[in-house]
Amino acid sequence: MTRRVSFLIFPDFQILDLAGPLAAFEIAGRFVPGAYTLATLAEAAGPVAASSRLAVTAGPLDEGACDTLVVIGGNGTRAAMAAPALLAFVARAAAQARRTTSVCSGSFILAAAGLLEGRQATTHWRRAADLARRFPRITVIPDRIFIRDGNIWTSAGITAGIDLALALIADDLGPAVAARVAKEMVVPWRRPGGQSQFSSLAELPIASDRIGAALAFAREHLGEDLPVERLAAAAHLSPRQFARAFRTETGTTPAKAIEQLRGEAARAAIETGRVPIDRIAAAAGFGDPERMRRAFLRTLGQPPQALRRAALAG
């Protein structure tokens, strides 16, 4: 069975958003001949310049139905979101495709085409709050490498497109083939953790001094109980006002943000020292090691003990 994978690009797209997943599918096709045919499409067929000014030749949008549509991201997504013909194509192709996916800020194009309403989705961590603001009916989860919600898959920033492609290949051809492709590309087959490996709430572009003050207060009191009422008091807002403003500015909830801050603090202590796990859990505010273990599995995909073993081995 041959599956057609179509990559949608536009002027000012990010070249690695395209090249990474494209290479993964191309290599999978070497290992399983006939598994895939690959096409690159654009609203204006012909050479399309990436943000690096490297041009890629694309075919027209009406180049036939596809099994999997991959919408690429990049600086040009804002203009692409306002292109009626392109959005109409995405909606039409998604209705026919078995899977519709996006890499990085390509999720904004899926959202503008109405495909993410009522779904969970992710994008580059720096754009997550903006996605949540623009499309409030989407549940934006910033700290995920990729998310599958039904037949819609979205992925995080740039190289996460490779993780997405490997997951799609595993879905099609099995994990053994995906692992072989990852080995050929010299990348992890299953990358542990989420985007918190590469970002923290400290780096989010917080617009409000009040939300910034609440986060600063939380960092200084991680070992204590931090209900929303206490954070709201630090921000000089009512709990309801605070929760709404916090979600708008960060793209996440106060509870998830506190868990992330605690996880980052605990992870640093686990990887850089020999303090017992139970003491780290208490100091970070998790209360007990089991609660911390569950949080680590949720956000990092592995328990604290595995991180310590890896750190000691390194």
Catalytic residue IDs: 104
Q: Taking the CA of residue 213 as centre, how many other CA atoms within 13 Å lie in the half-sphere pointing to its CB?
A: 12
Report CA Rg, the chain: 21
Closest to 185 in 3D by CA, of 8, 19, 40, 56? 19
The distance of Cα 66 from the centroid of its chain, to the nearest Å, equals: 24
Q: Are strands 36-41 and 3-8 parallel, antiparallel or unpaired?
A: parallel
Q: Are strands 152-155 and 146-149 parallel, antiparallel or unpaired?
A: antiparallel
CA distance 213 to 230: 12
Sequential DSSP letters for 70-120: EE--BTTHHHHHT-HHHHHHHHHHHHHSSEEEE-TTHHHHHHHTT-STTSE
Q: Which two tokens stand for residue 61?
A: 């949008």
